[in-house]
Structure 1
Amino acid sequence: MKRAKRPDFDAYAGDLYGEMMLAEPAPAPAERKPLSRFVPGLAICAIASAAGAWLAQNYGVPIILAGLLLGLAMGFAAGDPRTHEGLDATSRHGLRAGIMLLGFQVTVMEITAMGLVPFAGLALVMSAALVAALLAARVTGQSPAAGLLAGGSTAICGASAALALYGVIGRERIEQAQFTLTLVSLATASAIALVVYPPLTQMLGFSDAQAGFLVGASIHDVAQAIGAGFAVSDAAGAQATVVKLTRVALLAPLVTLAALWIAQVQPVEADDAAGRVPLLPRFILVFLGLVVLNSLVTLPAAFAEHALTLSKTLLLLAVTATAMRTRTDLLLELGWRSVMPVLAATIASLGVALAFARWAI
């Protein structure tokens, strides 16, 4: 007698419990959001950044400091949820692109041309800044991440380094308000150094080489370090440029070591369960690649100048957007202890740079 065939028998013949047939359907593709969602935040950030650039050009205010202060003053605009995606995207992607473009400003030949003795002195200055910031953070009851952010930013290139380090330290380890206050402290310290350090070198009777090393090794911001050198003389400005750009080139190794160290000293739940350290961010790898490219290929001077202008613009936008997304009430709650790592790192870098310039150069 022929057995009646169930309609669904063949479908389940190779699947005893029907798992394949009863599997969950594939999820529907996510709906693409319009790019216009970034416009409100990007527009308000661009307006504030343009105002900061105008203040810097006409009144001599450091451009990063102007962007920070205007961003904090316009923080009320971030209360509108429509600005959030644009501000967050500008803060995140603007800083990465700006740091990558800095790779066109330095070559391997410039680093090697500085010589072994000045390079050793530069390493001492940077180490002193890092150690002083970490000690100050510990004494004032702050996290190792706060000391690393302040010390690394002071040791390398101010706001640019702070943005890069914040990318590997992460918001899980340090609050955005602390990050913003660090940026404000760095910009203020650089502005004071630009005014004080050149007359100090003249009072001490430093040569052009000594003055160039001092300002290039101890002033945080790139433009202000180079400007302080040329405020002494053209020769001092050339020396300060080489020393400062060498510090910029050391950004990638510092970020790598920072990622390794902070993952061990201050682990967070977001870290891999196996205890692996975070990988070097892609934008730092691109920065290194551009340094190598700039070393192997002679690029037009106008190209490097335009790349520097674009880098400054992107970093200004990123800093302004970060400040706008920061709650000013949290800044007030942080108190004086939060600025101590930057202050300690600044004093330590100046002291070591002064001693090395006087006795070794």
Structure 2
Amino acid sequence: MRHDDVSVESRRNVSLPKAAESAPAAASTWQFRQLLPGLAACIIGGAIALAASRLLPGASPLLIAILLGAIWRNTLHVPEILMPGVAVSAKKLLRTGIVLLGLQLSLSTILGLGPGVLLVVVLCVGVTFGATLLIGKWLGIDLPQRLLIAAGFSICGAAAVAAAEGATKAKQDQVATAVGLVVLFGTLMIPIAPAVGALFGMDEESIGMLVGASIHEVAQVVAAGGAVSSSALAVAVTVKLARVVTLAPIVAGVSIYMRKKHAVEGAKTPPLVPLFVVGFIAAMLLRTTGTVPAPLLEAAQMAQTFLLAAAMFGLGLGVHIRGLMSSGSRSLVLAALATLVILVVAVAGTLLFPPMS
């Protein structure tokens, strides 16, 4: 009898851990099934955007992805079953893409621009970021919305908006508003920035510097610089990537500020420095060493573009034009003024510190 009791107890001891182990596994499987439809939709949307960009020379897959998502959101019904996976795509895939973006940045190349150009980059980012926050406060816009617009318009567009989202604890509609404004005003800047440069009698490389220092998205910079000349494009992209480098310290600074602010209010504090920002810096430093093989860099660039396109499709699904026009009138004014600020600073800086030949 005692032996049977021991056997029964032994079986219980064995079966209980198995049950405990199976519960988290079942929960993980259920969660993955919940996310799968939205993830699949964003991945397919990103793939379509990549294919469309190859058929349309000069078109950015990231902008196409945002537009595809926004068109779907504003013309057709978006099934509710997609939303959990879309939310994950707009955050996790994008942050992974931002980490890989660091592999495209070499500090030696950025420093090669010279102190004058680097000063202009710092002023464009710093003055625009600060002015946008100040003007937004005068307009009565919430701090998270101001921070998102400031990051997007001063650094690198939608990627910066999404990068700052976690630090600002912004609502999804605020993120969508900032992304929509970046797409709108960045697209308008594609013909405006080169035209302004020509108006001031700048040479092609100076126009490239102006384009890289003032236009919001990397893809929009490529479109504008490429329309001028190959030399203008090279300078524009390098200057723009110098602005992208400031993404890490600014997001880290916003995180620290919001952490202190929420600590005072007794709310949950955001992380001191987001993990993806650390990854971005590590990838940039790795690229700077020159030890990463060229094929691996090419593969990373393709993966980065695909991940960002999938994430942008997800962000596009959150762009509701009626809501943007009805509730975002003050944000629209702020975006226009932020664009004007960065254009003025970039023009003045380019005239004072033209790129070295």
Structure 1 length-normalised TM: 0.82
Query: Deviation of residue 163 (structure 1)?
Result: 1.0
Distance of 2:225 and 2:318 partners within structure 1:
35
Amino acid of the structure 1 residue aligned with 2:291: T
Question: 1:220-239, CA deviations, whole angstroms, 9 ceiling, x for partnerless residues?
Answer: 11122134233323332222
User: Does 2:216 align with 1:216?
Assistant: no
Amino acid of the structure 1 residue aligned with 2:241: L
Distance of 2:67 and 2:133 partners within structure 1:
26
Query: Deviation of residue 330 (structure 1)?
Result: 4.0
Query: Deviation of residue 127 (structure 1)?
Result: 1.6
Distance of 2:320 and 2:232 partners within structure 1:
41
Name the residue aligned to 2:4.
Answer: none
Write the mapping of 1:60-139 to structure 2, written as runs, cut at 5 A: 62-75=60-73, 78-81=78-81, 83-139=82-138
Amino acid of the structure 1 residue aligned with 2:236: A
Q: Is the 8 A contact 1:217 1:243 kept in 2?
A: yes
Distance of 2:277 and 2:168 partners within structure 1:
14
Query: Deviation of residue 293 (structure 1)?
Result: 0.6
Name the residue aligned to 2:46.
Answer: 49
Name the residue aligned to 2:195.
Answer: 199
Check 1:181–1:57 CA distance in 2 against 1; reply closer, same or farther (3 A cut). farther
Q: Counterpart of 1:180 in 2: which secondary structure?
A: helix
Query: If you compute each CA radius of gyration, which structure gives the higher value, 1 or 2?
Result: 1
Larger mean Cα displacement after TM superposition, 344-353 or 331-340: 331-340
Equivalences, count? 329
Distance of 2:227 and 2:63 partners within structure 1:
21
User: Does 2:343 align with 1:343?
Assistant: no
Name the residue aligned to 2:13.
Answer: none
RMSD: 2.6
Q: Is the 8 A contact 2:46 2:307 kept in 1?
A: no
Check 1:327–1:348 CA distance in 2 against 1; reply closer, same or farther (3 A cut). closer
Write the mapping of 1:232-311 to structure 2, written as runs, cut at 5 A: 232-264=228-260, 270-272=267-269, 278-311=271-304
Q: Counterpart of 1:322 in 2: which secondary structure?
A: helix
Q: Counterpart of 2:156 in 1: which secondary structure?
A: coil
Bigger fraction of residues in helix: 2
Query: Deviation of residue 242 (structure 1)?
Result: 1.9
Q: Counterpart of 2:273 in 1: which secondary structure?
A: coil
Amino acid of the structure 1 residue aligned with 2:28: K
Amino acid of the structure 2 residue aligned with 1:207: D
Check 1:340–1:262 CA distance in 2 against 1; reply closer, same or farther (3 A cut). farther
Structure 2 length-normalised TM: 0.83
User: Percent identical across equivalent pairs?
Assistant: 29
Question: 1:82-119, CA deviations, whole angstroms, 9 ceiling, x for partnerless residues?
Answer: x2332222222111111000011111111221111111
Name the residue aligned to 2:3.
Answer: none
Larger mean Cα displacement after TM superposition, 31-40 or 347-356: 31-40
Query: Deviation of residue 207 (structure 1)?
Result: 2.3
Q: Is the 8 A contact 2:213 2:240 kept in 1?
A: yes
